[in-house]
């Protein structure tokens, strides 16, 4: 299934932007070829645009609306349907222009349709290539390589902490080992598919319970989860490695400890994950950068331009801000 070509997801901002760019580049190219001087070129662009932009926008709207249907058709039939849609909207606009506008230099209908077909074909071909390069097919290997790795430091310190509990507090030791088992199950699982946010949050809670065991009152956690659909899908381990960094670089070097704040909220159909921790003078540890780049790349592979990760440091505080599209299980 992963290797199959898929209908381009025009509902994704990155894909929609790419379509607009390619089509407009093709229009400019066409204008360049068919004109001799600069003034002629500008005029040519203007007249082509007046006709082509409405076609482009209407086609995009139609595709946006019919995407679920197209997906059901499969790739080949879907592409045929897309081309039909484009031709239909071209013909529609053409007849509209012919009736209400006197356009002397409008080429004949068959020629216009041929142009529309060519440009759509090129765009679809490019998007197919792009999809092969970026989404699951090839990215599978990259995602596999990017699987977050837990710090050995954490593993051995946690085992040590559990050992210290066995004699005096066996019940607590049991809970700790169960948490560890869950954590490592996720870490060792196939982490290529998106998971519900609620699952990631509960994993983070188990991880933090283990850290709390070691650091006790030095580690304070503040969760601020605000009106977030728990079924929204996120890349697995999008938050846990960041928490691990916050504890390792932010809390552990502080003798008195500190607070890690996790804010999760929805804004304009986007999910925001904000993580803050105190930071001492030295920053930009290699380990920290590695985790950030890893998550950044996984976000790109899953969401393209629709997700972002920013980090900044101000007033003795380090902050990571992730924005994700609200993505529900289908």
Partner 1 sequence: MSDQTTLNILIADDEAPARNRLRELLADISNTHILGDAKNGKEALNLASEMLPDILLLDIRMPEMDGIEVAQHLQKLSKPPAIIFTTAYDNYAMQAFDMSAVDYLLKPIRLERLQTALHKARALLPGQLAALAPLSPQRTHLSISERNRILLVPVADIIYLRAELKYITVRTAEREYLIEESLTHLEQEFGNIFIRLHRNCLVASAYILGYEKRNHDENGDKQWVALLKHVPETIAVSRRQQHLIRTT
Name the residue nearer to partner 1 (CB basis): 110 or 255: 255
Q: Least distance (Å) from partner 1 to the CB of residue 183?
A: 16
With H, G, I as helix, E, B as strand and everything else as coil, classify residue 260.
Answer: strand
Name the residue nearer to partner 1 (CB basis): 215 or 275: 215
Q: Least distance (Å) from partner 1 to the CB of residue 236?
A: 24
Q: Which residues bind partner 1 (CB under 8 A)?
A: 151-153, 155-157, 159-161, 163-165, 167-168, 213-216, 252-255
Name the residue nearer to partner 1 (CB basis): 143 or 161: 161
Q: Least distance (Å) from partner 1 to the CB of residue 297?
A: 24
Q: Which of 182, 193, 179 is nearest to 147 (CA)?
A: 193
Q: Least distance (Å) from partner 1 to the CB of residue 181?
A: 17
Contact 63, 20 (CB under 8 A): no
Name the residue nearer to partner 1 (CB basis): 256 or 328: 256
Euclidean distance between CA atoms 151 and 105, whole angstroms: 68
Name the residue nearer to partner 1 (CB basis): 163 or 222: 163
Q: Are strands 258-267 and 270-278 parallel, antiparallel or unpaired?
A: antiparallel
Euclidean distance between CA atoms 201 and 32, whole angstroms: 54
Q: At what angle do helices 38-73 and 109-134 cross, to 10 degrees?
A: 60
Contact 235, 273 (CB under 8 A): no
Euclidean distance between CA atoms 258 and 278, whole angstroms: 7
Question: Residue holding tokens 């509960």?
Answer: 202
Q: Least distance (Å) from partner 1 to the CB of residue 218?
A: 8
């Amino acid at each position: 299934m992963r290797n199959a070509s898929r209908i381009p997801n025009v509902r994704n901002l990155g894909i929609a932007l790419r379509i607009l760019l390619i089509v407009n580049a093709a229009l400019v190219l066409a204008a360049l070829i068919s004109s001799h001087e600069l003034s002629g070129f500008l005029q040519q662009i203007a007249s082509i645009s007046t006709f082509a932009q409405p076609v482009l926008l209407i086609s995009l709207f139609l595709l946006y609306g019919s995407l679920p249907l197209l997906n059901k058709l499969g790739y080949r039939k879907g592409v045929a349907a897309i081309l039909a849609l484009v031709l239909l909207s071209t013909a529609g606009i053409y007849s509209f222009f012919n009736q209400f506008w006197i356009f002397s230099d409008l080429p004949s209908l068959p020629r216009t349709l041929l142009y529309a077909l060519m440009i759509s074909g090129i765009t679809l071909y490019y998007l197919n290539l792009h999809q092969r390069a970026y989404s699951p097919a090839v990215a599978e290997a990259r995602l596999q390589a990017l699987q977050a790795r837990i710090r050995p430091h954490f593993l051995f310190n946690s085992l040590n902490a559990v050992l210290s509990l066995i004699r005096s507090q066996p019940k607590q030791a049991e809970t700790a080992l169960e948490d560890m088992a869950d954590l490592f199950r996720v870490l060792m699982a196939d982490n290529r598919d998106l998971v519900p946010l609620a699952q990631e949050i509960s994993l983070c809670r188990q991880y933090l319970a283990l850290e709390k065991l070691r650091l006790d009152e030095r580690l304070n956690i503040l969760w601020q989860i605000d009106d977030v659909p728990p079924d929204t899908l996120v890349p697995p381990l999008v938050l846990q490695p960041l928490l691990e960094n916050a504890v390792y670089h932010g809390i552990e070097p502080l003798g008195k400890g500190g607070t890690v704040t996790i804010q999760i909220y929805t804004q304009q159909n986007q999910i925001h994950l904000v993580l803050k921790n105190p930071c001492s003078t030295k920053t930009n540890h290699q380990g920290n950068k590695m985790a950030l780049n890893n998550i950044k790349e996984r976000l790109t592979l899953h969401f393209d331009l629709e997700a972002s990760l920013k980090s900044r440091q101000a007033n003795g505080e380090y902050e990571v801000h992730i924005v994700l599209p609200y993505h529900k299980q289908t």
